[in-house]
Amino acid sequence: MKILVLGGTGTVGSQVVHELLARDVDVRVLTRTAEKAESLPEGVEGVVGDLLEPETVRSVFADTDGVFLLNPVSLTEAAEGLMALNGIRMSGVRRLAYLSVHNLEAAPQLPHFGSKVAIEAAIKSSGIPYTILRANNYYQNDYWFEDVILQYGVYPQPIGDLGLSRVDVRDIAEGAAVALTTGEHDGQTYNLIGPDAHTGQSTAEVWSRMLDQPIEYGGNDLDAWEQQSLEFLPAWMVFDFRLMYAYFQESGLKATSDDIKRQTELIGHEPRSFEDFARETAKTWQE
C-alpha cells in the first residue's frame, strides 16, 4: 500500500508518518523544500512540490492508494485543499483521510474553521472513500510555550474559562492510519478530542503539578496577547488566532460522551489525557 502524507514534516503529519511506517506502509511525503525532504525518516520518500502549482497537483498523487490531507494554516488553505482534492480525483486515489477541526459548523466565520467548510463539502461530493478527522486544539501546541512556562512561570495560550477538550496528536495519527489502512471507516466523520475539558487555569495547574513549580495562567486579555504575538507571527495569523481564542472564551469547545466513545472505537483505546501528556513532556523538559 502506498500512502502520500501532506504536511508530513509538521506536528501532526510527522506522527502520521510514524504510525504508517509502523504498519509497513510505503510512505511518501509532499513538502515545499528539498531541505525538509532530506530530513524525513529512513524509508520515507520525499517529494518536493506546491499544491498551488498545477504541475504538482497533476503528478504527485499518481500511483497512490491513499492520501492524508492536511493543509497548514495559511491565507490559501482552502485553495490548496481544493487543488489537492482535484488532483486526488484525477489520479484515482482510492482512500482519503482529511484533517479538519472540531465542530467547525458552530463558527464558520473563523478563518481557521471556515476554510475547511468548503473542503469538507467537496470531499463528501467527490465520490472518493473518505474519513474526516475533526481535531480539537492539540496538546502538543504547548511545545511552543516551553520557554515561557519554564522561564517565566506563565501558561500563555488564552483558551479561556469554559474549557477545550484538547487532543493528543498521537491519537489523531492513529485514527488517520487506521482509516487509511483498513477502509473500515469510509464515509465517517470523527471528532478527535481528549477525555477532559481544560480551561486556561486548569491547564496551568496541571503544568504546576507536573513541573513542581508554580505556573500561572496568563489570562484572557486578547489585546495583550495580540500585541505580544505580533512580535513573532504575521499579522493575518494573529488576527485569525485572536478570533479563534475569542470564540473559545465565549463558547468553549467541548467533547461529548459520544465523541469519546466513537474515538475510542476508531483508535482502539481511550483518548490520551492532558495530564499524561504533561507528565511525559515535563520529564523531557527537565532532563
| Mean pLDDT value across residues 2-25 | 96
Model pLDDT, residue 122: 98
- Average pLDDT value for residue range 94-119: 96
pLDDT score, position 213: 97
Give a yes or no: residue 34 inside a domain. Answer: yes
Mean pLDDT of 198-219: 98
Q: What is the DSSP letter of 139?
A: G
Q: If you average pLDDT over residues 219-238, what whole number do you get?
A: 97
Q: What pLDDT is attached to residue 241?
A: 98
> Does some domain include residue 206?
no
Confidence at 242, pLDDT banded by 50, 70, 90: very high
Structural domains in the chain (count): 1
**DSSP of 151-171:** HH-EE-----SS-B--B-HHH
Q: Domain containing 108 — which CATH number?
A: 3.40.50.720
Using alpha carbons, select from 137, 118, 106 the residue that is nearest to residue 80.
118
Flag whether 265 is in a domain.
yes
**Using one digit for the tens of pLDDT, what is the confidence trace for 256-279?**
999 999 999 999 999 999 999 999
Q: What is the mean pLDDT of the chain?
A: 97
Q: Tell me if 114 is assigned to some domain.
A: yes
Residue ranges making up the domain that contains 49: 2-136+169-192+255-271
User: Does residue 231 lie in a domain region?
Assistant: no
Please check whether residue 219 lies inside any domain of the structure: no
Q: Is 8 within a domain?
A: yes
271 contacts 195 by C-beta, under 8 angstroms: yes
Q: How far is CA 260 from the centre of its chain?
A: 17
Residue 108 located in a structural domain = yes
